[in-house]
Structure 1
Amino acid sequence: MPLQMTGALDDPELIRLPWDLPLEEWPDHLIVPLPRGISRHVVRFVRLAGRVYAIKEISERYAKTEYRLLWDLHRLDAPAVEPVAVVTGRTGRDGEPLDSALITRHLQFSLPYRAVMSGTLRPDTLTRLLDALVVLLVRLHLNGFYWGDCSLSNTLFRRDAGAFAAYLVDAETGELHPMISEGQRAHDIEIAHVNLFGEMLDLQAGGMLHESIDPEATADDITERYHRLWAELTQDEVIEEVDWHLVEQRVRRLNSLGFDVAEMLVRRKAGTGRLLVRPKVVDSGHHQRRLLRLTGLDVEENQARRLLNDLDSFRVQNGLRHEDEAIVAHRWLAEVFQPTVAAIPPDMRGKLEPAQLFHEILDHRWYLSEEAGHDVGLQAAVRSYIDNVLVHKPDEKALIVPPEMASPNEMSSP
């Protein structure tokens, strides 16, 4: 069978890569040494025309299945890496067949969980990683997706204000259904529990886990977190007919978690004056969509929440309470956000994405103002942040690790 590349190709140079060589034999000048997680397969990152692609060597059956599933998740706007193409019909220079390859687009500013750690995984970092993983699993389940291998290792993380946003990076074992069954949900949760317990034990054995973290309690904790969030999003609520403010409170709680409610099913309980209320949660990204609509900025959910808070403060401080929201947003973008990002030296802009930079500058301004006893202003905060904080941060847009630190057994699945 001749070499065949199927997908949404956006770079003709992809077909010119040395597909007649096993991935582990590709020449160094093609490879980008990005931080890598643990994978069962050989994975390499390549840069072509300024874009970075992740390429995973895998059997044809699984390559095609994973490609299709990733496209389905992309269509549903689920948090997952973006598929590019599947390469089949590979033959080595010795005439022997080679495994197929799955090509995905590298998720900018994303890191495997081990790269998030600064030596030792501390409790506060673990809490934020688990929260992100739970939100990811719940979002996938709401879309009818059964993962089959939920773990920190199969996830990429992007900084999201003070938290993390998680993205599925390996859909090899997944299945997409119109609606996920209770049995599938329970199995996914059990797999997540087992995988996380194993990952914590692995970190503990390597001296990379903070002494206060109990691996078994951590694994139990992720199931509890999952059940709490799932119940908040899906469970029925019984209210008295006069207590409609409780329904409004429920909607606001869901919005605060980043989820939108499309409609409510309200049914009277037989023989009582009570109502059964069931929210229909259709999508996450409540603050993302509001910020995108107002400013055109496409950022993570917590970043959007932080930027919207600053926009609202800008409205109050400038006496614009009665101005159209879109006009205020345009002024905030032109007078606050864009000048702040533009003040970052060009050689430092790859360290963090713009929304994360802005969030951290706002945090830095708060700390400086607390110390000074008065508001130091945004310009002073920007200068101090660049000189004292940003200069020490790694470049997360395409974080390069020295070859001697890259283990051949630690490779990130695309």
Structure 2
Amino acid sequence: MPLQLTGAPGDPDLIRLPWDVPLEQWPEHHLVSLPRGISRHVVRFARLSGRVYAIKEISEYYAKREYRLLWDLNRLDTPSVEPVAVVTGRTGADGQPLDSALITQHLQFSLPYRAVMSGTVRPETLNRLLDALAVLLVRLHLTGFYWGDCSLSNVLFRRDAGSFAAYLVDAETGELHPMISEGQRLYDIDVAHTNIFGEMLDLEAGGLLHSSIDPEQVADSVCARYRGLWSELTSDEIIDEVDWHMIDQRIRRLNTLGFDVAEMMVRRKAGTGRLIVRPKVVDAGHHQRRLLRLTGLDVEENQARRLLNDLDSFRVSYGLRHEDEAIVAHRWLAEVFHPTVETVPQELRHKLEPAQLFHEMLDHRWFMSEAAGNDVGLPAAVDSYVKNVLVFKPDEQALITED
């Protein structure tokens, strides 16, 4: 079978890569060095036309299957890497067949968990990673996706304000259904527990875990976080008819968690004056969508929440409470967000995403103001942040330069 590249229209140079050479033997000039997680397959990062692609060597059946799954997950707006193409019909110089390859778009500003934990990880950092993984697993299950191999190794993490956002990077064992069964859901949690326990033991053996962290408790806590969030999103709530305001409170709690409610199913409990209420949660990203609608900024959920808080403060500070929200958002973008980000020197701006930069500058302002006993103002905080914090931060973007 001749060499064939199947996928969405993209970079024509992809077909010119050395597909007749096993991936682990590719010459360095085709590759870019980026942190990568543990994988049972050979994975390399290639750079073409200013973009970075992750390439995984895998059998043709699984390459095509994972490509379709990732395509469906992206269509459903589920956090996962973006599929680009599948390469089949590979043959080595000796005429022997080579495994196929799955090509995905590299997720900029993302890191595998081992890169996040490059030093001795603190309990606070680990908790934020576990929260992100629990949220990802819940979102996948709400979509009807059975993972089959949930682990920290199969996830990429991006900074999201003071937290992390998790993205699925390996769907090889997954299945997409109209609705996930209870058995599949419970098995996924059990697999997650086993995998994460093993990963924590591995980190402990390498001296990368804080002495206060117990590997088994970490695995237990992921499952507990998952169950708590799943219950909040899907469980029935019984209320008295006179307590209808509790439904509004439930919706607000779900919005705070970042989820939107499409409809509520309400029925009377037989023989009582009480109602059984079940929310239908359809989408995560409540704050993302609101910010995108108002400003056009497409950011992570917690970043969106922080930016919306600053927008609301801007509205109050300038006496714009009764002004149209879209007009206020336009003024905030033009007078606060863009000028603040553009204050950062061009050579340092690529270190973090603009939304993350803005969030960290707001944090820096808060800490400086606390120390000074009064508001130091955003310009002074930005100047201090750039000189004392940002210059020492590592780059979290894939830096691509043309040869």
Amino acid paired to 2:398: A
SS at match of 1:185: helix
1:195-225 per-residue CA deviation (whole Å, 9 max, x = no partner) reads 0000000001111111100011111111111
In the TM superposition, 1:72-151 aligns within 5 A as 72-151=72-151
Task: Name the structure 2 match of 1:368.
Answer: 368
Please give the root-mean-square deviation of Cα atoms over the aligned residues, in Å.
0.8
SS at match of 1:204: helix
1:267–1:276 Cα contact (<8 Å) kept = yes
Aligned residue pair count: 400
The whole-number CA distance in structure 2 between the counterparts of 1:392 and 1:114 is 20
In the TM superposition, 1:201-220 aligns within 5 A as 201-220=201-220
Query: 1:326 offset after TM fit, Å?
Result: 0.1
The whole-number CA distance in structure 1 between the counterparts of 2:122 and 2:29 is 36
The whole-number CA distance in structure 1 between the counterparts of 2:45 and 2:236 is 46
The whole-number CA distance in structure 2 between the counterparts of 1:299 and 1:319 is 27
Query: 1:344 offset after TM fit, Å?
Result: 1.1
The whole-number CA distance in structure 1 between the counterparts of 2:345 and 2:147 is 41
2:60–2:100 Cα contact (<8 Å) kept = yes
The whole-number CA distance in structure 1 between the counterparts of 2:187 and 2:271 is 38
In the TM superposition, 1:304-383 aligns within 5 A as 304-383=304-383
The whole-number CA distance in structure 1 between the counterparts of 2:163 and 2:298 is 17
2:32–2:45 Cα contact (<8 Å) kept = yes
Query: 1:118 offset after TM fit, Å?
Result: 4.1
The whole-number CA distance in structure 1 between the counterparts of 2:208 and 2:355 is 30
2:132–2:166 Cα contact (<8 Å) kept = yes
The whole-number CA distance in structure 2 between the counterparts of 1:121 and 1:364 is 22
1:273-296 per-residue CA deviation (whole Å, 9 max, x = no partner) reads 000000000000000000000000
Q: Say whether residues 1:196 and 2:196 are aligned partners.
A: yes
1:161–1:356 Cα contact (<8 Å) kept = yes
Amino acid paired to 2:221: D
- More moved, 390-399 vs 329-338: 390-399
Task: Name the structure 2 match of 1:279.
Answer: 279
The whole-number CA distance in structure 2 between the counterparts of 1:342 and 1:40 is 42
5+ residue gaps, structure 2, are none
Task: Name the structure 2 match of 1:411.
Answer: none
SS at match of 1:242: helix
1:34–1:399 Cα contact (<8 Å) kept = no
Task: Give the 4+ runs in structure 1 shifted more than 2 A.
Answer: none
The whole-number CA distance in structure 2 between the counterparts of 1:398 and 1:17 is 20
Query: 1:399 offset after TM fit, Å?
Result: 6.8
Q: Say whether residues 1:162 and 2:165 are aligned partners.
A: no
SS at match of 2:239: strand
The whole-number CA distance in structure 2 between the counterparts of 1:136 and 1:201 is 23
The whole-number CA distance in structure 2 between the counterparts of 1:237 and 1:361 is 41
Query: 1:123 offset after TM fit, Å?
Result: 0.6
- More moved, 343-352 vs 332-341: 343-352
Amino acid paired to 1:332: W
Task: Name the structure 1 match of 2:55.
Answer: 55
Amino acid paired to 1:278: R
Task: Name the structure 1 match of 2:385.
Answer: 385
The whole-number CA distance in structure 2 between the counterparts of 1:30 and 1:385 is 36
The whole-number CA distance in structure 2 between the counterparts of 1:9 and 1:107 is 18
5+ residue gaps, structure 1, are 401-414
Task: Name the structure 2 match of 1:406.
Answer: none
Task: Name the structure 2 match of 1:233.
Answer: 233
1:119-142 per-residue CA deviation (whole Å, 9 max, x = no partner) reads 112110110000000000000000
SS at match of 2:152: coil
Task: Name the structure 2 match of 1:71.
Answer: 71
1:109–1:396 Cα contact (<8 Å) kept = yes
The whole-number CA distance in structure 1 between the counterparts of 2:360 and 2:223 is 31
Structure 1 residues 399 and 154, CA gap change in structure 2 (3 angstroms) = farther
1:5–1:88 Cα contact (<8 Å) kept = yes
Task: Name the structure 1 match of 2:255.
Answer: 255
Query: 1:9 offset after TM fit, Å?
Result: 2.9
The whole-number CA distance in structure 2 between the counterparts of 1:399 and 1:369 is 34
Amino acid paired to 2:351: K
SS at match of 2:242: coil
Task: Name the structure 1 match of 2:296.
Answer: 296
SS at match of 2:20: coil
1:81–1:106 Cα contact (<8 Å) kept = yes
Once the two structures are aligned, what percentage of the paired residues are identical?
81
1:307-347 per-residue CA deviation (whole Å, 9 max, x = no partner) reads 00000000000010110000000000000000011111111
Query: 1:271 offset after TM fit, Å?
Result: 1.1
Amino acid paired to 1:325: E
Task: Name the structure 1 match of 2:26.
Answer: 26
> Structure 1 length normalisation: TM-score?
0.96
2:259–2:285 Cα contact (<8 Å) kept = yes
Amino acid paired to 1:346: Q
2:352–2:397 Cα contact (<8 Å) kept = yes
1:35–1:399 Cα contact (<8 Å) kept = no
Task: Name the structure 2 match of 1:37.
Answer: 37
Q: Say whether residues 1:3 and 2:8 are aligned partners.
A: no
The whole-number CA distance in structure 1 between the counterparts of 2:81 and 2:87 is 17
Task: Name the structure 2 match of 1:244.
Answer: 244
The whole-number CA distance in structure 1 between the counterparts of 2:37 and 2:101 is 18
Amino acid paired to 2:261: V
The whole-number CA distance in structure 1 between the counterparts of 2:120 and 2:172 is 30
2:118–2:208 Cα contact (<8 Å) kept = no
The whole-number CA distance in structure 2 between the counterparts of 1:31 and 1:347 is 24
